[in-house]
Amino acid sequence: MLDIAVLVSGGGTNLQAIIDRIADGSLSKVRIVGVIASRPGTVAEQRAVRADIPVKIVCRKDAPDLAAYDRAVIAALSDWNPELIVLAGFLNLLGPAVVATWRNRIINVHPSLIPSFCGPGYYGIRPHEAVLASGVRVTGATVHIVNEEYDQGPIILQKAVTVHADDTPQTLQLRVMQEAEQVILPKAIALFAAGRIQIEDRKAIILGGTEND
């Protein structure tokens, strides 16, 4: 059994996808031991409570600096002793102490095809606004390992989504979430649970390959 903690900030649709895949058996040998929300009153928190998952709120603004925030996150997570940390729509930056404590065991889902439309300032609806402004025909989502650099860690899975001429940032965001994020995030967790992810330098090697190979 792989014990995971999920960190959230908003709607929690990615958290819900993980809960649903565990419930329908397609994500087996995985248990969500706890959810950390970055602020009180999120829909994501309601989803966790509904699924009987313990929730803690750890606010960045309650900590005087990043090091103190890091300590609060580590303390909250340590109670649950998770083997994998999943950032599912989590919009705060984690500091180096958290990254070092769970080295190569923190993953994030990002709503674009990294290395495009990522890095500081590209979160939530913003990557989709930038995609439409740029005129690219294809976007998508990426699941990657979290390291000290924003959206720069080794890539585990990506899935492309076609941009439509009549897309708004909102319609594109919804399609990227449903067709890409909610598909590849549970898949990446399953790869971890199966012990199939190995990190070499800047790359994530998937033992046994992916369906794209």
Which residues carry out catalysis? Answer: 110
Residue whose token pair is 């040998």: 29
| Distance of alpha carbon 56 from alpha carbon 36, whole angstroms | 5
Interface with ligand GAR by CB under 6 A: which residues? 8, 10-14, 44, 88-89, 91, 109-111, 123-124, 177, 181
Residue 195 CB, nearest approach to ligand GAR (Å) = 25
Convert the chain into a string of H (helix), E (strand) and C (coil). CEEEEEEECCCCHHHHHHHHHHHCCCCCCEEEEEEEECCCCCHHHHHHHHCCCCEEECCHHHCCCHHHHHHHHHHHHHCCCCCEEEECCCCCCCCHHHHHHCCCCEEEEECCCCCCCCCCCCCCCHHHHHHHHHCCCEEEEEEEECCCCCCCCCEEEEEEEECCCCCCHHHHHHHHHHHHHHHHHHHHHHHHHCCCEEEECCEEEECCCCCCC
User: Measured from the CB atom, is 163 or 177 closer to ligand GAR?
Assistant: 177
User: Measured from the CB atom, is 19 or 197 closer to ligand GAR?
Assistant: 19
Residue 133 CB, nearest approach to ligand GAR (Å) = 17
Residue 70 CB, nearest approach to ligand GAR (Å) = 18
Residue 44 CB, nearest approach to ligand GAR (Å) = 6
User: Measured from the CB atom, is 1 or 93 closer to ligand GAR?
Assistant: 93
User: Measured from the CB atom, is 124 or 169 closer to ligand GAR?
Assistant: 124
Residue nearest ligand GAR (C-beta atom)? 89
